[in-house]
A and B are shown apart, each in its own frame.
Chain A
């Protein structure tokens, strides 16, 4: 930073006061002090003269011709014009493409979430059944079968496969499985007979006969 030389604090003080003295807003005693200083300091006197000229130049009317009457006419026409819609329509027209894109993205997401919710709500019954869920109602032709405790899983699977049966439920509290014939060509009576004949099957009963 630089200030005029050859006076130290007085010149710095004069520098501070000059703009406000030119505005005539500096206190009277400051103005008096400044005038006294300027009379003794050539550098500050020159600086003050430059600033006076600057103020004079800045006080000149604008050098760009702008017609006040035409401007006022335009303003009054604007006041008489229909009030622009300040709500969403104006938001859409005024602007910002990014805002619009974000709004559309949010809308699409909302629609997607809504559709997903409706679909989930409509799927009341799951398409699977866990073994911990209560027993299903056995269809006609089903058997309850209790395999022996020592029966191997491979033997159990082979027996079911050979007889054309599949497990639909179980085991229940007493170890009984519900099985049904896989196809129409499987004879229930024959399957029941062969189940009962197997040494690893402790019990085989048709569900329909269950009291």
Chain B
């Protein structure tokens, strides 16, 4: 954990303590601090903005009520991400939805004010993630996007570390095979690993 991560976690723990005491300004601060990251994380599960807001709010509703029982066994970000992941799966299950399989679905994507470079990068990413399962997308997001360790991802997804490691490995293999093609380059030469 680098120093800035440590500082952020210390700040978040203070906010959680204040939330446990009923301080709503602490809740607001934590909400704003995590809103962007949670929305991006949940966008790997669903492309519906209304559902993402509902899941974020469900997550903070739980965090508000459970703040007193947070003992600091993990980083606050890991705790909140875990809650959001479970709320996301539950919300999708209640609606009979599955995590999006067609990641290329364009609804709601690509604000028009995107710089061209960002838009190109988003398109490239969307096409790449399209080749992954929902679980693989979540692992890739948590490792590359959020910066979680394998152990933290395992805690968030409530899965064994070995499972997370396998998901990451297979996701990387798929991405390694498609990313050069998407970028217009020939795929890297491969060989089987016995």
A-side binding surface: helix, strand, loop or mixed? helix
Residues of A within 8 A of B (CB): 1-6, 12, 15, 19-20, 22-25, 43, 46-47, 50-51, 53-68, 70-72, 74-76, 78-79
With known contacts A60-B118, A79-B64, A72–B31 Cβ distance under 8 A = yes
- Write out the residue numbers on chain B whose beta carbons fall within 8 Å of the beta carbon of A47: 176, 188
- Known contacts A1-B192, A4-B188, A43-B189: A65-B60 contact under CB 8 Å: no
3 closest residue pairs by CB, A with B: A58-B145, A57-B125, A62-B40
Contacts of A12 in B (CB 8 A): 193
Across-interface contacts of B147 in A (CB, < 8 A): 23, 25
Closest to B2 in A: A24
Query: Which residues of the partner chain B approach A2 to less than 8 Å between Cβ atoms?
Result: 173, 176-177, 190-193
Scoring B residues 31 to 75 as 1 if CB is less than 8 Å from chain A, else 0, what string do you get?
110011001100100010100110011001100100000000000
Interface residues of B in 141-194 (CB under 8 A from A): 141, 143-145, 147, 149, 168-169, 172-173, 175-177, 179-180, 183, 185, 188-193
The number of residues on chain B lying at the interface, defined by a beta carbon within 8 Å of a beta carbon of chain A, is 56
User: A75 to B32, alpha carbons, bound, how many Å?
Assistant: 12
B108 adjacent to chain A (CB < 8 Å): yes
| Chain B residues near A75 (CB-CB < 8 A) | 27, 31, 57, 60-61
A-B pairs with beta carbons under 8 Å apart, 25 shown:
A1-B169, A1-B193, A2-B190, A3-B190, A4-B188, A5-B190, A24-B2, A50-B176, A50-B183, A54-B125, A54-B128, A57-B122, A57-B125, A58-B141, A60-B125, A61-B40, A63-B114, A63-B122, A64-B52, A65-B111, A66-B39, A66-B52, A75-B61, A76-B24, A78-B61
Quick check: A71 and B49 within 8 Å, CB to CB?
Answer: no
Quick one: CB contact mask for B113-148 with A, threshold 8 Å, 1 for yes?
Answer: 010001001101100100000000000110111010
Bound-complex Cα distance A19 to B172 (A): 10
